[in-house]
């Protein structure tokens, strides 16, 4: 209920956001041409987005998020998805431009994909976080991406008519604790065909699939357990009064149009989250004929997408006509329950299409917009709550309020300890003695000015730690709250803030850690309820500065008469079931650590025959350790046996040698 309560609190003052002035600063640019490696990474969803009309990478990028939730959990939710636009063109026929459709791979999908990027307009990468290097006052979110594509080309399939569409896709993700479970895809589509397009439909095709890549590995062809596409349940919710089954409507969310999917068995409790796509709105109201729904939800088993855009003859029976993609978009169906033809309540490899229309006339140079939210949640209730916050974001022009941002962190190491330092921020320009602009990054976090109330809102810090490589749920809930600091004033706990070091930084030390074990740290800022403006309390996002570290010693001293002995742990290294998880041997993810290293050194590993197995280079003024993934050069798994390592201090020339044992 937390997010619903936040929504209720926000509703009391969100109208203030609608009258704020808009600033147009310079543009932050990314690479030109096709871009396929962008991923949202400020909230809890890691969604791969492209300027080719689709999102998700169809398992083409091993261990790279496609739609990972929570981020760094290895739980994926989308194989591939994309925009669909259908219309009656000037030739009098129905045509559909698709960003993605049923295909067994990224390459196969590219053969039928009809959107491309051949514009000189590069991707925009913005952020409204003052600590971000991409900070831009025009940014609407913690991560604001703008990507451009069109449907001007002819795919190899030959089954495509150029509608003449220019598309701008805005991708918006937030790190605010109440808005970090969804990513908004806002499509602005311009008709530049020079002719009128009639009876237009807009939609989002999605091949959602839920699973944990560590349990069922989609990239390991030799593994005992492969990714299971056929064990997912799908469905949808819609408004009351449109003839939908009662269980598919929600009294508390009467205008919802949303698809969902979950995994059948939850993969041993390691993939129990839900994913959904919510239609947030369009720039024009659809005008369906009387008695027909304005939104269609179609689901089908993978590989059953129509081959053609318009009605066509069945290749196996020329006397039978089959519906095309356009008829699918415009049918007004709502595919749930057990029907005469298909049982939609069974687990299978389902594909969905959420589409709306018709928009009767689309004049040349006019623009239509449609907006969706890719949403995730721990269960169905969380999914719905998160999607409702996404709806609030859309309804308020994407201008969600937030509190002070997290600080930028620095890490240093002592034996079994981690030292975290950060700049507190200032409000007076040291050169001029004048107050800094409220947008200055030098202010944050402790002198942050809230853009809604125009008042300082920083209250304190909370420091979180999580032990482990990956998350299986909400990182905040799974982490330990190590400390909470509250500034001394007339509010809060008045515990005081961490003392300043001699160089003016805040510092926190966490001790008694295990060397070589993975720990996540995050220092979040928080505010209290503003009694003047009515703005609720906020906490900055976990991933705004979260970092995974491996504790170890500081670098060995440079003085030759005070050398620190280089060591290796674990030694011997034994392959255990912890790394196998029933999938056979997994070389990736394994580590051994060289410790007690000089600041600058070269590490070489040899087998007993004297062959060089691996060379590592270490150059770190604060961390005296380096990891090795147990792969040789070229990238191959090494065999069991005894190995010799040689560490050369590149500053003093000192050389240390030792032995390590690998047992498989």
Per residue, the 3-state secondary structure of 181-217, as one string, reads CEEEEEEEEEECCCCCEEEEEEEEEEEEEEEECCCCC
Q: What is the reported pTM?
A: 0.84
Residue with the two structure tokens 């990714």:
227
User: For residue 552, is pLDDT > 80?
Assistant: no
Residue with the two structure tokens 């994309």:
82
Region 422-427: mean pLDDT is: 96
Q: How confident is the model at residue 185 (pLDDT cuts 50, 70, 90)?
A: very high
- The answer for residues whose C-beta is within 8 angstroms of residue 36's C-beta and 6 or more apart is 48, 50, 52, 57
Cα separations in angstroms, 346 against 78, 341, 623: 19, 13, 53
User: For residue 157, is pLDDT > 90?
Assistant: no
Q: What angle do CA 283, 284, 285 make, to 5 degrees?
A: 130
Least confident of 1-15, 63-77, 112-126, 549-563: 1-15
Region 466-493: mean pLDDT is: 93
Q: So what's the pLDDT on residue 362?
A: 98
User: For residue 171, is pLDDT > 90?
Assistant: yes
Residues in the chain, how many? 664
Q: So what's the pLDDT on residue 579?
A: 28
- The answer for residues whose C-beta is within 8 angstroms of residue 228's C-beta and 6 or more apart is 211, 216
Of all residues in the chain, the percent with pLDDT exceeding 70 is 90
Contact in structure between 116 and 167 (CB atoms under 8 Å): no
Task: Give the Cα separation of 130 and 136 in Å (integer).
Answer: 8
How, if at all, do strands 573-574 and 655-663 pair?
parallel
- Mean pLDDT value across the chain: 88
Contact in structure between 563 and 556 (CB atoms under 8 Å): yes
In the chain, the domains with their CATH numbers are: 2-13+34-395 (2.70.98.10), 409-549 (2.60.40), 567-663 (2.60.40.4070)
Q: Give 561-588 pLDDT, tens digit per residue.
A: 555 678 887 777 875 423 232 222 333 4
Q: So what's the pLDDT on residue 155?
A: 58
Beta-carbon neighbour count of residue 335 at 10 Å? 20
Q: So what's the pLDDT on residue 632?
A: 86
Q: So what's the pLDDT on residue 388?
A: 97
Contacts 24+ apart (CB under 8 A), 289-292: 292/332
Q: How confident is the model at residue 414 (pLDDT cuts 50, 70, 90)?
A: confident
Region 392-397: mean pLDDT is: 96
Q: Give 344-368 pLDDT, tens digit per residue.
A: 999 999 999 999 999 999 999 999 9
User: For residue 86, is pLDDT > 50?
Assistant: yes
Which two tokens mark 298? 């179609």
Query: What is the H or E stretch that residue 475 is in?
Result: helix 475-478
Q: Is the dihedral of CA 473, 477, 483, 487 positive or negative?
A: positive
Q: How confident is the model at residue 17 (pLDDT cuts 50, 70, 90)?
A: very low
User: For residue 172, is pLDDT > 90?
Assistant: yes
Query: What is the H or E stretch that residue 328 is in?
Result: helix 325-330
Residue with the two structure tokens 């032995």:
659
Q: Give 93-145 pLDDT, tens digit per residue.
A: 999 999 999 999 999 988 888 999 988 889 999 999 999 999 999 999 999 99
Where does residue 338 rank: exposed (0-12), middle (13-18), buried (19+ CB within 10 A)? exposed
Q: How confident is the model at residue 636 (pLDDT cuts 50, 70, 90)?
A: confident
Q: How confident is the model at residue 451 (pLDDT cuts 50, 70, 90)?
A: confident
Task: Give the Cα separation of 578 and 599 in Å (integer).
Answer: 32
Of all residues in the chain, the percent with pLDDT exceeding 90 is 70
Q: So what's the pLDDT on residue 560?
A: 47
Q: So what's the pLDDT on residue 32?
A: 66
Cα separations in angstroms, 13 against 8, 18, 73, 530, 541: 10, 10, 35, 11, 22
Closest CA to 405 of 22, 125, 142: 142
Contact in structure between 314 and 306 (CB atoms under 8 Å): no
Q: So what's the pLDDT on residue 11?
A: 44
Least confident of 52-56, 245-249, 463-467, 549-553: 549-553
Q: Is 394 helix (H, G, I), strand (E, B) or coil?
A: helix
Q: How confident is the model at residue 398 (pLDDT cuts 50, 70, 90)?
A: very high
User: For residue 447, is pLDDT > 50?
Assistant: yes
Which two tokens mark 429? 């320009």
Q: Give 209-268 pLDDT, tens digit per residue.
A: 999 998 898 988 776 778 999 999 999 999 999 999 999 999 999 999 999 999 999 998
Q: So what's the pLDDT on residue 364?
A: 97
Q: Give 278-311 pLDDT, tens digit per residue.
A: 999 999 999 999 999 999 999 999 999 999 999 9
Region 175-193: mean pLDDT is: 96
User: For residue 151, is pLDDT > 70?
Assistant: yes
User: For residue 444, is pLDDT > 80?
Assistant: yes
- The answer for residues whose C-beta is within 8 angstroms of residue 349's C-beta and 6 or more apart is 209, 229, 230, 232, 301, 302
Closest CA to 625 of 549, 570, 555: 555
Contact in structure between 508 and 390 (CB atoms under 8 Å): no
Which two tokens mark 467? 């032990």
**Which comes out higher in pLDDT, residue 587 or 172?**
172
Least confident of 60-69, 74-83, 108-117, 172-181: 108-117
495 torsion bin: left (phi>0), alpha (psi -120 to 50), beta (else): alpha
């Amino acid at each position: 209920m937390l997010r619903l309560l936040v929504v209720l609190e926000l509703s009391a003052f969100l109208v203030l956001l609608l009258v704020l002035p808009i600033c147009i600063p310079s543009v932050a640019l990314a690479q030109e041409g096709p871009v396929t490696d962008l991923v949202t990474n400020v909230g809890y969803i890691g969604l791969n987005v492209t300027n080719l009309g689709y999102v998700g990478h169809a398992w083409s990028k091993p261990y790279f998020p496609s739609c990972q939730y929570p981020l760094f959990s290895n739980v994926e939710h989308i194989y591939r998805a994309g925009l669909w636009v259908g219309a009656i063109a000037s030739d009098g026929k129905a045509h559909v431009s698709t960003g993605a459709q049923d295909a067994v791979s990224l390459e196969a999908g590219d053969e039928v994909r009809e959107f491309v990027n051949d514009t000189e307009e590069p991707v925009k990468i913005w952020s409204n976080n003052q600590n971000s290097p991409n900070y831009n006052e025009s940014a609407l979110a913690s991560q604001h991406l703008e990507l451009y594509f069109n449907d001007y080309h002819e795919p190899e399939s030959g089954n495509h008519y150029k509608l003449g569409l220019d598309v701008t896709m805005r991708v918006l993700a937030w790190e605010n604790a109440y808005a970090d479970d969804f990513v908004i895809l806002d499509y602005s589509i311009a008709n530049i065909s020079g002719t009128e397009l009639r009876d237009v439909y807009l939609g989002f095709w999605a091949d959602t699939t839920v699973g944990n890549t560590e349990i069922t590995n989609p990239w390991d062809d030799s593994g005992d357990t492969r990714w299971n596409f056929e064990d997912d349940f799908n469905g949808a919710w819609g408004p009351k009064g449109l003839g939908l089954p009662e269980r598919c409507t929600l009294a508390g969310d009467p205008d919802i149009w949303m698809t969902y999917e979950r995994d059948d068995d939850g993969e041993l409790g390691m993939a129990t989250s839900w994913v959904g796509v919510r239609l947030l709105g369009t720039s024009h109201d659809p005008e369906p004929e009387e008695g027909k729904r304005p939104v269609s939800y179609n689901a089908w088993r993978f590989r059953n997408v129509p081959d053609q855009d318009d009605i066509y003859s069945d290749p196996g029976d020329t006397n039978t006509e089959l519906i095309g993609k356009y008829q699918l978009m415009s049918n007004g169906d709502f595919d749930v329950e057990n029907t005469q033809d298909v049982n939609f309540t069974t687990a299978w490899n389902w594909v969905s299409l959420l589409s709306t229309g018709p928009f009767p006339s689309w004049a040349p140079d006019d623009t239509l917009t449609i907006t969706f939210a890719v949403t995730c949640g721990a269960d169905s209730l969380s999914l719905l709550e998160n999607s409702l916050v996404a709806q609030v974001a859309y309804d308020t022009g994407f201008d969600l309020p937030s509190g002070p941002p997290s600080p930028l962190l620095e890490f240093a190491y002592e034996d079994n300890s981690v030292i975290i330092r950060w700049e507190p921020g200032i409000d007076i320009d040291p050169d001029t003695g004048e107050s800094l602009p409220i947008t200055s990054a030098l202010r944050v976090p402790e002198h942050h000015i809230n853009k809604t109330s125009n008042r300082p809102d920083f209250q304190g810090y909370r420091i979180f730690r999580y032990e482990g490589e990956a998350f299986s749920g909400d990182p905040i809930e799974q982490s330990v709250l190590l400390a909470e600091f509250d500034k001394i004033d007339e509010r809060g706990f008045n515990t005081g803030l961490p003392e300043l070091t001699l160089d003016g930084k805040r510092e926190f030390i966490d001790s008694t850690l295990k060397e070589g074990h993975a720990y996540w740290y995050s220092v979040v800022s928080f505010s209290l309820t503003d009694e003047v403006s009515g703005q609720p309390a906020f906490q900055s996002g976990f991933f705004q500065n979260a970092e995974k570290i491996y504790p170890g010693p500081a670098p060995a001293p440079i003085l030759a008469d005070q050398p620190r002995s280089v060591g290796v742990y674990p030694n011997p290294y034994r392959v255990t079931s912890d790394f196998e998880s029933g999938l056979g041997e997994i070389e990736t993810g394994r580590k051994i650590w060289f410790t007690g290293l000089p600041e600058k050194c070269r590490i070489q590993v040899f087998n007993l025959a004297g062959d060089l197995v691996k060379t590592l280079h270490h150059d770190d003024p604060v961390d005296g350790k380096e990891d090795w993934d147990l792969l040789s050069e070229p990238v191959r798994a090494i065999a069991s046996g005894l190995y010799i390592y040689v560490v050369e201090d590149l500053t003093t020339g000192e050389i240390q040698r030792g032995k390590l044992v690998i047992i498989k």
